[in-house]
A and B are shown apart, each in its own frame.
Chain A
Amino acid sequence: MNTPNIAMPGASLSSQASVPRTISYAQAFYWSVRREFWENRLLYLAPMAAAAIFLFSFVINTIILRRSMHGVWPAHTAQHDVLSLPYDMSAALIMGIALIVGIFYSLDTLYGERRDRSILFWKSLPVSDLTTVLSKLSIPLVIIPVLSYVITVATQFIMLLLSSAVLLGSGANIAALWTQESFFRGSLDLFYHMLTVHGLWYAPLYGWLLLVSAAAPRAPFVWAVLPPFVLWGVEKMAFNTTYFLSLLMVRLMGPPDPEMAMSKNADFMSTLIPRHFFDQPGLWIGLVVAAVFVAATIQVRRYRGPI
């Protein structure tokens, strides 16, 4: 420290101004999303673990099934249920896990960066709050649905292979597995469901969670749950109505589908397609609300520092 070389010629390596590369918006966005996966490995590990556990129990189930069949294929009426039930369950399980992961991710992400003070590091880089918040929003809205769809389809494909292998030589008609299950149509239905319901319909939910995550001084879970609870209580006390509650329930239970209730023996995959999804005002109102929440989140993050 006694002899700083500030005046020494040639002491600096970096006086030659290098021509800066250009970083496109897409590139900044890509790396912002990528770093979310470094931080939150649960985003892909949880659905993958769910799939692995499910496959394990499926193998056991198939072996037991084969023993009980004694070479006799189930009667035609029962056939559909026996075949499609495990596939529906695998989709439901992975989807449910993905939903939970997405909710907890959204609630923690902008709170966590303030808690561990790393927000100062992120803000020391040329990445705008807009890019940051949108990349974080894209995780529950797009990335998790697509990812869990891919995992579900892969799981179902492995299930098909497994049951074919187990049933091989049992006398059962293996070809029925591949044709009657209409595997590929089902998976398209699932994809549609993931993007519409998990992406678009739940958008205001994720927007709200991100806003709370950015704003809460502590305990974001309490801040996320308390306001709706208070709103419900106040409405109930003041007007003795529960509009807010029913609004909330509709939002959480998925879009209403009047035609669904009629068709009784529709299988699980087709329940995933709400009819007239894009005609529902609820969808568009929800998207507007989501946009307001996200815009507020971007503003709030500008003002926030470490806690």
Chain B
Amino acid sequence: MACIEARGLRKSFGTTVALDGVNFSVEEGRILGMIGPNGAGKTTALNAILGLTPYQGELRVLGRNPWTERDQLMRDVCFISDVAILPRWIKVSQALDYVAGVHPRFDRAKAEAFLAKTTVGRNRKVKQLSKGMVAQLHLALVMAIDAKLLVLDEPTLGLDLLYRKQFYDSLLNDYFDRTRTIVVTTHQVDELQNVLTDVMFMDRGRILLDCSMEEIESRYVELTVQPAQVAAARSLKPIYERNVLGRSLMLFDRADRPQLSALGEMRTPGIADLFVAVVGDHAGETKGAEV
């Protein structure tokens, strides 16, 4: 059974279409990155998955309808939005008490053990903690919950590099195993390149690309073209071309590799570059996509 299964998922706010009848499915044990400019529909999709918003079309999360069964679903789903959502008045110890009180799968000892490695004091209130410490607290709460699906919406927004690195390291080393599923949206794509197993590019309510990292590696090639071969390379119809330090870089989709290797140096493109190549042309008014 797929962890998330969406068919014709649609949501509009007045005349603005946030999700335009998208289909996708996320299998168990995957780490999916949803990538897109602001207003692409990522957060709307996540809100639908979390039962925070009604929608049209079909959506099953862990076999449940999220809109009608949110409270049961939340036993198996965890959610971190950007760090602002922990209530500012709550004390660290109260947050632990409360989640332990209402969540059947919360392991308090695990949360305490994680917090012990940080400088987050038990008697501090959230509003007295730095942004990075709030993220640590939230991560401690979430990692102590034996959930099947973890949804992260810009979880590291506004955090400095060290906290961001630590956040994803903890998540991967101490939390993720092959039975859990993680869906993450972020603007810091490059930091996630090695974390993700799947990517989904979204723009204006549509999915432009939905594939695994292996597929990306086999399908796309970035070629650093030798100056003499630019014309020859161009004739092979790159989907994107840019200049870096005087060298021409071209991105090819399903190109003939032996043929390309004669023209320059090949490598797998970065997700950010691929995003610009795939979405950039379509993005129109949303150009300058924040990736």
Neighbouring B residues of A31 by C-beta, 8 Å: 97-98, 101-102
Indicate if the CB atoms of B102 and A1 lie closer than 8 Å.
Answer: no
| Interface of B: prevailing SS | mixed
Given the contacts A117-B85, A305-B47, A20 and B146 also touching, CB distance less than 8 Å = yes
Closest-by-CB residue of A relative to B68 is A302
Sample 28 A-B pairs with CB under 8 A, ordered by A number: A1-B191, A1-B195, A4-B195, A6-B176, A12-B175, A13-B110, A14-B146, A14-B175, A18-B105, A18-B107, A27-B101, A28-B102, A34-B101, A116-B87, A118-B86, A118-B87, A118-B88, A123-B50, A125-B74, A126-B103, A126-B104, A127-B71, A127-B74, A128-B70, A128-B71, A129-B70, A303-B54, A306-B85
In the complex, whether A70 has a CB less than 8 A from a CB of chain B is: no
Indicate if the CB atoms of A117 and B70 lie closer than 8 Å.
Answer: no
Tell me which of B3-11, B75-83, B244-252 binds A. Answer: B75-83
Neighbouring B residues of A84 by C-beta, 8 Å: none
In the complex, whether A5 has a CB less than 8 A from a CB of chain B is: yes
Closest-by-CB residue of B relative to A35 is B98
Neighbouring A residues of B179 by C-beta, 8 Å: 15
Give the docked Cα–Cα distance between A14 and B168 (Å): 16
Indicate if the CB atoms of B54 and A124 lie closer than 8 Å.
Answer: no
In the complex, whether B194 has a CB less than 8 A from a CB of chain A is: yes
Given the contacts A1-B169, A12-B174, A121-B85, A126 and B94 also touching, CB distance less than 8 Å = no
For chain A, residues 100 to 120, give those with C-beta under 8 angstroms from any C-beta of chain B: 113, 116-118, 120
Closest-by-CB residue of B relative to A23 is B104
Indicate if the CB atoms of A23 and B102 lie closer than 8 Å.
Answer: yes
Indicate if the CB atoms of A27 and B102 lie closer than 8 Å.
Answer: yes
Size category, B interface: 35 or more
Give the docked Cα–Cα distance between A3 and B72 (Å): 36
A interface, CB within 8 angstroms of B: 1-6, 11-15, 17-18, 20-23, 27-28, 30-32, 34-35, 38-39, 113, 116-118, 120-121, 123-129, 131, 302-303, 305-306
Give the docked Cα–Cα distance between A2 and B195 (Å): 9
Indicate if the CB atoms of B172 and A121 lie closer than 8 Å.
Answer: no
In the complex, whether B90 has a CB less than 8 A from a CB of chain A is: yes
Neighbouring B residues of A23 by C-beta, 8 Å: 101-104
Indicate if the CB atoms of B88 and A123 lie closer than 8 Å.
Answer: no
Given the contacts A31-B98, A38-B89, A117-B85, A125 and B103 also touching, CB distance less than 8 Å = yes
